[in-house]
Amino acid sequence: MKKFMYYLRVWGIMSKNSFLMVASQKMVFLIFLIGKLIRFGLFAVFLIFLLKGSQSLAGYTVNQIIFFFLTFNLIDIIAQFLFREVYRFRPQIISGSFDLTLARPTNALFRSLMGGADIIDLVTIPPIIFAMVYVGAALNPSIIHVSLFIILLVNGFLIATAFHIAVLALGIITLEIDHTIMIYRDLVNMGRFPVDIYREPLRGILTYLIPVGLMVTVPAKALMGLASARGVILSFGVVAAAVFLSLKFWKLALRKYTSASS
């Protein structure tokens, strides 16, 4: 507990510095915030018009599809909020400043993964949670389904965490973190809709090989009472394997890291 509080204080200091840096550039902050809101709004409008004629997609109602979309956005935005430092990791490797990270008493993975939260994403999280509660209530879930949804939502976030750790490790080995993180984002964006709409073998790939379906689709289906026991159990198993393998990959990358001084 003492160690947890220590890292919580460190994260708070780093996030405060990150917030102050962004807040000092008010115009840039405003432009990025408006851009995010417009992007979210345009896709929501596209979704409504897409479903306007048929009122369903792959057997799901309009409210259900919107809830899938909101679930994806919540996991994605929380990951961006907490792990924004991943997008700034490559310059540390190129310049050699990652050596200083390794020399500090704080854990290098913690510093590289959560070195500065993004205030822009923080601003957008409350409206998405409000929208999820509003749309989710219209689906009339039971307390059991809501509880299972929250647990699987945490599972989905842990899968996103494992992805980001793997990206950091790959960045140390190849120095190409920018392209890798964008490939991750493109793949995860396919989770905006339930993976049921995709044909095989893509559906299987997005469920088992690249677990976007377990990350987004299964939690949302759990709230609707549509998640199978097999899918829920598989979700827990994949989360455990993904986190374990990503941490192993990170340790392997550190062993292969060549510092700027060597």
pLDDT at 224: 93
Within 10 angstroms of residue 64's Cβ, the number of other Cβ atoms is 23
Measuring CA to CA, which residue among 185, 164, 171, 186 is closest to residue 242?
164
Range with lowest mean pLDDT among 42-51, 97-106, 143-152: 42-51
Structural domain includes residue 261: no
Model confidence at 230: pLDDT above 90: no
Model confidence at 103: pLDDT above 70: yes
pLDDT at 145: 95
pLDDT at 253: 92
The pLDDT-based confidence of 247 (bands split at 50, 70, 90) is very high
Model confidence at 139: pLDDT above 60: yes
CA–CA separation, 130 and 57 (whole Å):
24
pLDDT at 119: 78
Report pLDDT digits (tens) over 59-96. 788 888 889 988 988 998 899 889 988 888 888 888 88
Structural domain includes residue 124: yes
| Strand (E) or helix (H) holding 245 | helix 229-256
Structural domain includes residue 24: yes
The pLDDT-based confidence of 55 (bands split at 50, 70, 90) is low
Structural domain includes residue 110: yes
Q: What is the DSSP letter of 59?
A: T
Torsion sign across C-alpha atoms 119, 3, 181, 96: positive
Structural domain includes residue 33: yes
- Name the more confident of 135 and 244: 244
Model confidence at 243: pLDDT above 90: yes
pLDDT at 203: 81
Number of domains observed in the structure of the chain: 1
- pTM reported for the whole predicted model: 0.86
Structural domain includes residue 262: no
- Name the more confident of 226 and 15: 226
82 lies in which domain range? 2-256
Structural domain includes residue 122: yes
Structural domain includes residue 208: yes
